[in-house]
A and B are shown apart, each in its own frame.
Chain A
């Protein structure tokens, strides 16, 4: 992180908050400088407290960690939103005076760093002078340009004092159901700029004397569609923060302020060392090159956006080079990423540098000790102007996850190569699913109230295959390791949508020696709504995950919706109904149970904007599966038989992909002929050799297509945007394909609008604004 010294100090009373007499910013700069100079957090070459009194150190850690976890559990009961109360989309984190995370609760721990970024923003922009920081204050933030992931994650931040001195901060975050964006739902699309992305709160002082201010309460609740949930979510955050503040105050009384403050520094250096020792214990040093993509199909007629320059198909491109160094620190370099865009999937560096730990706690650092120390052992590089670090203050972020989860899937593969090489096969994971679809919408609900919905069934997608076992079916999402699909009865209370069925989605797990976990699908019929819209959000034309070491990626998504279904009549007349079981899209079945006038949309357009739904209309929520591991021909015959009998794979694809020779008995049970299967698999290996060509020969053909500029516009736009931002990526591309020096590909040649490509204005250009820089740019 860079040191920002030139802040305006007009009227400040330096040192009024800290015992050491420094301003908050000077104090933070001093820590950063000591860290940079020494290579140890805050210059702590020794952990004197931890080493001299390990029991005392652990006692403080345990009190704080238990306090954070417990406060989260208690506070979550206050919320009424099923996103918080059922799905656990909340998190509490404790920070030292510099805004570095000491310890966090369970939950959506991506916010370890996002709330820290907000605290650092207040520190760097002299909040201590104006609006002032006093005991009993509360600050609210959801600004993505400061470091929030998306606007629906609302943070409450409370300073903690002892004897009149600031000793730290506690932050609480909940994922609210609606933020008053152009479209209803917490991660809506349709808006293409910040100005339609919902309410934006920039570290605003929203409470004094432990009480929210009335102007804030009146203003905020009328800016969202779901004020009841909004108010209870805020009470949840405040209650949790205050509980944790009490625990810190008690700890200070019991252990002494000096011990607490020493702990609050040493624990971060300890976290830094912890990551280094895990890297050394589990990985192989070297360079890992990986890449991910996801589709943004905006030319389709069902995508309605306010501005014509957003009507383009684009592709998110996220190459990453991970270098694990000989000193067991590491560097993640995203050179070559594509540009930010006019959609809601942009991220910012903190969403990355903080967010990545929600993934790492599921693999490299599966410990309760995650804090900002890990970040100090990690170098990030997010080139300015890319979707990871926009250089324009107009960008929208409401579903930054669409890009984040897609790009992170490739990081699992890189780490898994390490684990595989060292024999830690139990840690190998082919990657995460693309956790979608996001069922969202709103209008007037079954209670005659203004409402918005965002189904978090997404929290239970299939997981990636391991090198020793299959992925888990309908189990988790990368952003919340404690994922849960939620109870049907609760969702039916929260949404005017009846469940026609909820089933495992056949063929969604990527094939392999070990297959990816399967996703599931729920078919919802609109019921009891007055004026109602819904839309889809997910991947369709592309996969974001790949398989690993011969495994296939998971199935991509598709969309199914039906209008004028005649279902209400069919129910009255006792005719057959679509009951949420549509196993084989080669032979679709839902359509067989609809009236003659039904309008069905069944296609790969998995991003849409608000469409009108009448009672009786259908919406398929299809939650994706995970990628596979290893050559499918290595899958144990017994396991393919089980897949068949559990409806995890369609017989046709078991035959084609797994090479099994099968038969079905009169009861419908499948058996696999072992001898014939072994022979068939030998034959498939020969067929592969016969149909394939040497890679270098294929490269000559592909080179010809590149010379002739033969590729879809969206593919060319992706390359052109990355080339424009990265000489390095362009150079490597030309060198790999052996292209002539004068070969070029410019976005201008594609005949599509390119607003923002050349003309843009960064947040830092606003008067008196000093953004905190968190990574190399």
Chain B
């Protein structure tokens, strides 16, 4: 079992980790304490005090609020997307690329989907404009609810006390 310092985990998060250590992380059995180091690194990077429980994107987290111990999805900028069991995308902004012209803002001609078949749906944070997700479904497709974590069991697996409302 390998172990890594918080500094190494921070470098990993920032994309600055040296290749030797990164290769070791890839090839050796996983360090169970990674999770604690990781959320601690991320916690240092945000300006608010709610506790990060599960990161779900580079700027998006399931957090436990300080005030009510509620579990909600929250943007790094502080924008709240509501209860963690709900699909955060429903409380985001969306921009649909559903024409050749809109696709051509992103890809050269012929290199994006034909919008009779498929569209891009870009989900943005209403406060900071971060693009948290791009869906690429057919027209009519329901918004994907990507992930419904079982937080209680997860905390059991990593050997930590679970949030009270998990």
* B13 at the binding interface (Cβ < 8 Å): yes
Q: How far is the CA of A586 from the CA of B37 in the complex (A)?
A: 47
B34 touches A636 (CB 8 A): no
B139 contact from A324, A467, A715, Cβ within 8 A: A715
Q: Nearest CB to that of A709 among chain B residues?
A: B140
A-facing mask of B121-165, CB < 8 A → 1, else 0?
Answer: 011101011111111111111111111111101101110000000
Among B84-132, those with CB < 8 Å from A are: 89-96, 104-114, 116-118, 120, 122-124, 126, 128-132
Q: How far is the CA of A686 from the CA of B125 in the complex (A)?
A: 10
* A766 at the binding interface (Cβ < 8 Å): no
Given A469-B15, A507-B107, A733 and B113 touching (CB < 8 A)? no
A293 contact from B58, B118, B128, Cβ within 8 A: B118
Q: Nearest CB to that of A546 among chain B residues?
A: B136
Residues of A within 8 A of B90 (CB): 695-696, 699
Q: Nearest CB to that of A421 among chain B residues?
A: B54
Q: How far is the CA of A41 from the CA of B36 in the complex (A)?
A: 35
Among B59, B110, B123, B137, chain A packs the most CB atoms within 10 A around the CB of: B110
Q: Nearest CB to that of A631 among chain B residues?
A: B131
* A571 at the binding interface (Cβ < 8 Å): no
Q: Nearest CB to that of B116 among chain A residues?
A: A712
Residues of B within 8 A of A603 (CB): 110
Q: How far is the CA of A425 from the CA of B22 in the complex (A)?
A: 10
* A309 at the binding interface (Cβ < 8 Å): no
Q: How far is the CA of A633 from the CA of B125 in the complex (A)?
A: 14
A555 touches B114 (CB 8 A): no
Shortest CB-to-CB span from B98 to chain A, Å, is: 10
B94 touches A585 (CB 8 A): no
Residues of B within 8 A of A685 (CB): 128-130
Shortest CB-to-CB span from B40 to chain A, Å, is: 10
B-facing mask of A541-566, CB < 8 A → 1, else 0?
Answer: 11101110111110110100000000
A695 touches B91 (CB 8 A): yes
* B78 at the binding interface (Cβ < 8 Å): no
Shortest CB-to-CB span from A58 to chain B, Å, is: 17
A547 touches B134 (CB 8 A): yes
A715 touches B117 (CB 8 A): yes
A-facing mask of B19-43, CB < 8 A → 1, else 0?
Answer: 0001001100110101101110000
A698 touches B131 (CB 8 A): no
B-facing mask of A241-264, CB < 8 A → 1, else 0?
Answer: 000000000000000000000000
Q: How far is the CA of A631 from the CA of B118 in the complex (A)?
A: 21
B142 touches A733 (CB 8 A): yes
A285 touches B157 (CB 8 A): yes
B58 contact from A423, A541, A631, Cβ within 8 A: A631
Shortest CB-to-CB span from B11 to chain A, Å, is: 9
Residues of B within 8 A of A543 (CB): 113, 118, 136
Residues of A within 8 A of B113 (CB): 541-543, 556
Among A597-633, those with CB < 8 Å from B are: 602-604, 630-633
Q: Nearest CB to that of B128 among chain A residues?
A: A685
Given A424-B30, A513-B58, A584-B108, A286 and B147 touching (CB < 8 A)? yes
B147 touches A417 (CB 8 A): yes
Q: How far is the CA of A324 from the CA of B17 in the complex (A)?
A: 30
* A60 at the binding interface (Cβ < 8 Å): no
Q: How far is the CA of A770 from the CA of B101 in the complex (A)?
A: 54
B139 touches A281 (CB 8 A): no
Given A426-B22, A468-B22, A542 and B58 touching (CB < 8 A)? no
Q: How far is the CA of A693 from the CA of B96 in the complex (A)?
A: 9
Residues of A within 8 A of B129 (CB): 684-689
B110 touches A653 (CB 8 A): no
A694 touches B133 (CB 8 A): no
Residues of A within 8 A of B9 (CB): 423
With an 8 Å Cβ cutoff, the count of chain B residues facing the other chain is: 79
Q: A interface, by DSSP: helix, strand, loop or mixed?
A: mixed
Given A282-B30, A733-B142, A421 and B56 touching (CB < 8 A)? yes
* A422 at the binding interface (Cβ < 8 Å): yes
Shortest CB-to-CB span from A51 to chain B, Å, is: 20
Among A463-489, those with CB < 8 Å from B are: 467-469
A284 touches B17 (CB 8 A): no
Among A634-676, those with CB < 8 Å from B are: 634, 636, 650, 653, 656-657
B94 contact from A469, A656, A693, Cβ within 8 A: A693
A546 touches B106 (CB 8 A): no
A693 touches B93 (CB 8 A): yes
Shortest CB-to-CB span from B100 to chain A, Å, is: 11
Q: Nearest CB to that of B87 among chain A residues?
A: A695
Residues of A within 8 A of B151 (CB): 286
A291 contact from B132, B141, B153, Cβ within 8 A: B141
Q: How far is the CA of A573 from the CA of B29 in the complex (A)?
A: 63
Q: Nearest CB to that of A544 among chain B residues?
A: B136
Q: How far is the CA of A530 from the CA of B129 in the complex (A)?
A: 59
B149 touches A286 (CB 8 A): yes
B138 touches A718 (CB 8 A): yes
Q: Nearest CB to that of B124 among chain A residues?
A: A688
B134 touches A736 (CB 8 A): no
Residues of B within 8 A of A737 (CB): 140, 142
B138 touches A695 (CB 8 A): no
B144 touches A553 (CB 8 A): no
Shortest CB-to-CB span from A561 to chain B, Å, is: 14
* A508 at the binding interface (Cβ < 8 Å): yes
Given A282-B30, A290-B146, A692-B124, A714 and B140 touching (CB < 8 A)? no
A284 touches B154 (CB 8 A): yes
Q: Nearest CB to that of A685 among chain B residues?
A: B129
Q: Nearest CB to that of A706 among chain B residues?
A: B140
A423 touches B144 (CB 8 A): no
A634 touches B58 (CB 8 A): yes
Residues of B within 8 A of A448 (CB): none
* A758 at the binding interface (Cβ < 8 Å): no
Among A702-738, those with CB < 8 Å from B are: 702, 705-706, 711-712, 714-715, 718-719, 732-733, 736-737
A423 touches B153 (CB 8 A): no
Residues of A within 8 A of B137 (CB): 291, 293
Q: How far is the CA of A695 from the CA of B58 in the complex (A)?
A: 21
B111 touches A556 (CB 8 A): yes
B150 contact from A326, A546, A602, A706, Cβ within 8 A: A326
Q: How far is the CA of A650 from the CA of B17 in the complex (A)?
A: 29
Given A420-B56, A694-B93, A585 and B108 touching (CB < 8 A)? yes
* A691 at the binding interface (Cβ < 8 Å): yes
B134 touches A290 (CB 8 A): no
B109 touches A586 (CB 8 A): yes
Q: How far is the CA of A684 from the CA of B151 in the complex (A)?
A: 35
Q: Nearest CB to that of A326 among chain B residues?
A: B153
Given A508-B111, A631-B59, A291 and B144 touching (CB < 8 A)? yes
Shortest CB-to-CB span from A45 to chain B, Å, is: 23
A514 touches B15 (CB 8 A): yes
Given A291-B141, A549-B57, A706-B140, A281 and B30 touching (CB < 8 A)? yes
Given A555-B107, A631-B130, A698 and B94 touching (CB < 8 A)? yes
Shortest CB-to-CB span from B102 to chain A, Å, is: 10
Given A543-B113, A695-B91, A732-B142, A426 and B108 touching (CB < 8 A)? no
Q: How far is the CA of A604 from the CA of B116 in the complex (A)?
A: 12
Among B105, B113, B122, chain A packs the most CB atoms within 10 A around the CB of: B113
* B66 at the binding interface (Cβ < 8 Å): no
Residues of A within 8 A of B38 (CB): 422-423
Residues of B within 8 A of A513 (CB): 58
Residues of B within 8 A of A293 (CB): 118, 137-138
* B12 at the binding interface (Cβ < 8 Å): yes
15 pairs, CB–CB < 8 Å, chain A vs chain B: A285-B157, A289-B147, A290-B146, A328-B157, A417-B147, A423-B13, A423-B34, A511-B106, A541-B118, A549-B57, A692-B94, A695-B92, A695-B93, A715-B117, A736-B142
Q: Closest 6 A-B residue pairs measured CB to CB?
A: A423-B38, A685-B129, A692-B93, A558-B110, A555-B111, A286-B149
Known pairs A424-B30, A711-B140 / 14 extra A-B pairs, C-beta < 8 Å: A281-B30, A286-B150, A421-B149, A423-B37, A426-B12, A426-B25, A550-B131, A552-B106, A553-B136, A603-B110, A653-B108, A695-B94, A732-B142, A733-B142
